[in-house]
Amino acid sequence: MKSKWSIVNSRWLIIFRQWTIDYQPLTITIIMASAISCSTKDSKFLQYYAQGEQLYVKHCSNCHQKSGKGLGRLYPPIASSDFIQNNFNETICLMKYGKQGVITVNTIDYNKPMPGVVGLTDLEVAEIATYIYNSWGHEKGLVGVLQTSSVLRTCQR
């Protein structure tokens, strides 16, 4: 005997299938319009994210790990990091110029120098930022190069 929920789900499936058959041209039009209107914005985000992932693996994952979880009490996590979430400008500056001294992440103090990657362009910093700010529980969206350039001009070195 079927449960009450499987009967309800079956009815909804039948209704959905009939709707997609009856309104297929409308469904296709809606999907295409959504894809076209979002494609430019989404393709830029996806490009930044993909390039940022490659740059993160190359420049950051040795210490912060590919998973973003850090390395014990030696290197802080980026995944689920309160520091990353609450210190956007400082995080941007850290990527390029590094940091000496104590940094507190999720109530744990880390006191290992973080070397910056001075050779990164503003675009590359934006790409890494887009990747880390949209991975491991972060959902910031695109971090644009103009925003990154503006922040990098304010960094204390």
Q: Pick from 75, 104, 73, 102: which is nearest to 87 by CA? A: 104
Distance separating alpha carbons of residues 63 and 71, to the nearest angstrom: 7
- Whole-model pTM: value is 0.73
Question: How far is Cα 157 from Cα 150, in angstroms, rounded to an integer?
Answer: 15
**Cβ within 8 Å of residue 102, ≥6 positions away:** 109, 110, 111
Q: Which pLDDT does position 78 carry in this prediction?
A: 95
- Over 70: is that where the pLDDT of 143 sits? yes
Task: Work out the angle at residue 58's Cα, subtended by the Cα atoms of residues 105 and 126, and round it to the nearest 5 degrees.
Answer: 65
Tokens of 29: 């039009």
For 74, the token pair is: 């030696």
Q: What is the mean predicted confidence (pLDDT) over 28-51?
A: 69
Percent of the chain with pLDDT over 70: 74
- pLDDT per position as a tens digit, 58-95: 999 999 999 999 999 999 999 999 999 999 999 999 99
Distance CA(148)–CA(157), nearest Å, equals 16
In the predicted model, is pLDDT for residue 135 greater than 90?
yes
Q: Within 13 A of 98's CA, how many CA atoms are on the CB side?
A: 13
Beta strand ranges found along the chain (DSSP E): 103-105, 108-110
- Domains located in the chain, CATH noted: 40-152 (1.10.760.10)
